[in-house]
Chains A and B, each alone.
Chain A
């Protein structure tokens, strides 16, 4: 009996002890669960190792943004130099392009690779394009990125389109595809993009091909927009004798809807170009005959006398022996200062 009592006491004590460590056991279990849970999570958490990858992706991303900006700025510089180069090409052989299609193709080739034909690459486009075509300019940045940043840049120029909608601007649309990746591993990130870039080029300070080719490069006119009567583009009401004289002396250009625009002058276009049309008054030193000294009219002989009934007026107060057709003289409001020289008035 005594022994049984002792056993019962021992059993009761054990139960009490077990109950006494119940919270401890539960907390240990919970702690173990927390550790297991957090350690599992820690493995997926971005850690120090991924920091290097993040930085590398940032470098690539910044480069891509820079590359796109560089393409835009290169397009502007390259476009301007290509127009200058094609002027030198036309003047050098003293020939206009046959038509707009030929000009557009040559422009696209020159700006893309610096050659008249990007496939056979035999004839290079004249200066000042050397080293400034898009391929040359883009290879500068891609080789620099390769050497210093360990970035590979592959690009392909899909198309270049040139056109004009404003009198003193040329518009260029570029379609380019590029691929940017890390030189060591392509695991970080790859940029594979097709980009459409539109850029407007100011044609100020470029030469007029119409005047140069028609005079065998004896008379070179630089295209600069006039500041005279710029608000009166449509009806020309602000013009008078003094302003016409100043416009003639400056040898600048004005917007004129019936005039031929800059690009069309490369293929001897003489028709009206609408809003993008321009006109200038030619210097009498280079001109002869009873012809209107408005640039596009002079070589088309639209207003020449004789033959026909075209009335040519002489305005010596603008410049000695300066001639204009009657319609243009009326537009510049200088008819009163003009003398009719052709056709001759009948003698009484």
Chain B
């Protein structure tokens, strides 16, 4: 009789084990299915998030060596400007204030320095990147900074974000509205 009861006990143990395995496996499947697809979403939102960042973040709120150097050199005079407004200012100086090409190139280099430093620390090197300022008054498309351009034509995914940018120069002048075109590709 005792041997018979022991045998019945095995059935229950095996049953409980199978049951718990079923619950465990089904829960794992459900939970894994809910996490899927975040990578693509991240790619899509990255260009938009980055453009929002440079449009809204003020220079004074950034602790960055490139910004500190540009400020120390007296090239950034208004720290209330956002990053994009500062890029606008450098561009405006290059094409509307500078009277020679040396001055213009230097001013454009400052904007590249600023953007390169911020971008490389924010966007992983596996992504290609470009920021083009489209001057609506002259029709000029000025690339401020780009990287991994060679991969652009063969990339699997290119995400673009366009925004309107402008800056008030003084009480009678405004530069813009212009278009800033940001592309991120992988």
A→B interface (CB under 8 Å): 16, 19-24, 26-28, 30-31, 34-35, 38, 42, 45, 47-48, 51-52, 54-55, 58-59, 62-63, 65-66, 70, 73-74, 76-77, 80-81, 128, 137, 140-141, 144-145, 148-149, 201-202
Contacts and interface: CB of A to CB of B under 8 A. Distances in A.
Nearest to B21: A27
B55 interface: yes
Contacts of B25: 31
Given A23-B18, A55-B44, A81-B172, A144 B26 contact: no
Closest 4 CB pairs of A and B: A27-B19, A20-B11, A23-B19, A31-B26
A73 B171 contact: no
Main secondary structure of the interface of A (DSSP, over half): helix
30 contacts: A16-B8, A20-B12, A20-B14, A23-B12, A26-B19, A27-B19, A27-B23, A28-B22, A30-B23, A30-B26, A31-B26, A34-B27, A34-B30, A35-B30, A47-B37, A51-B41, A52-B44, A55-B45, A62-B55, A63-B163, A63-B164, A66-B55, A70-B177, A73-B166, A73-B168, A77-B168, A81-B172, A140-B177, A149-B163, A202-B171
B177 A48 contact: no
A201 B171 contact: yes
Contact of B18 (A19, A27, A141): A27
B1 to A, nearest CB: 14
A178 to B, nearest CB: 15
A22 B16 CA distance: 8
B34 A38 contact: yes
Nearest to B40: A48
A62 B51 CA distance: 10
B162 interface: yes
Interface of B: 8, 11-12, 14-16, 18-20, 22-23, 25-27, 30, 33-34, 37, 40-41, 44-45, 48, 51-52, 55-56, 136, 161-166, 168, 171-174, 177, 179
A253 B164 CA distance: 40
Main secondary structure of the interface of B (DSSP, over half): helix
Contact of B168 (A34, A54, A66, A76): A76
Contacts of A62: 51-52, 55-56, 163
A77 B173 contact: yes
Given A20-B14, A48-B40, A77-B172, 17 more contacts: A24-B22, A27-B22, A34-B30, A35-B26, A38-B33, A48-B41, A58-B52, A62-B55, A62-B163, A66-B164, A66-B166, A77-B174, A128-B172, A137-B174, A141-B177, A144-B136, A148-B179
B162 to A, nearest CB: 5
A67 to B, nearest CB: 8
B135 to A, nearest CB: 12
Given A23-B18, A26-B19, A48-B40, A55 B171 contact: no
B83 to A, nearest CB: 14
Q: Which of B8, B48, B55 is packed against the most chain A CB atoms within 10 Å?
A: B48
Contacts of A80: 171-172
A301 B18 CA distance: 110
Q: Which of A28, A45, A128 is packed against the most chain B CB atoms within 10 Å?
A: A28
Contacts of A28: 19, 22
B34 A42 contact: yes
Contacts of B166: 66, 70, 73, 141
B15 A22 contact: yes
A58 to B, nearest CB: 6
Q: Which of B27, B161, B164 is packed against the most chain A CB atoms within 10 Å?
A: B164
Given A34-B27, A58-B52, A144-B179, A51 B45 contact: yes
A77 to B, nearest CB: 6
A83 to B, nearest CB: 10
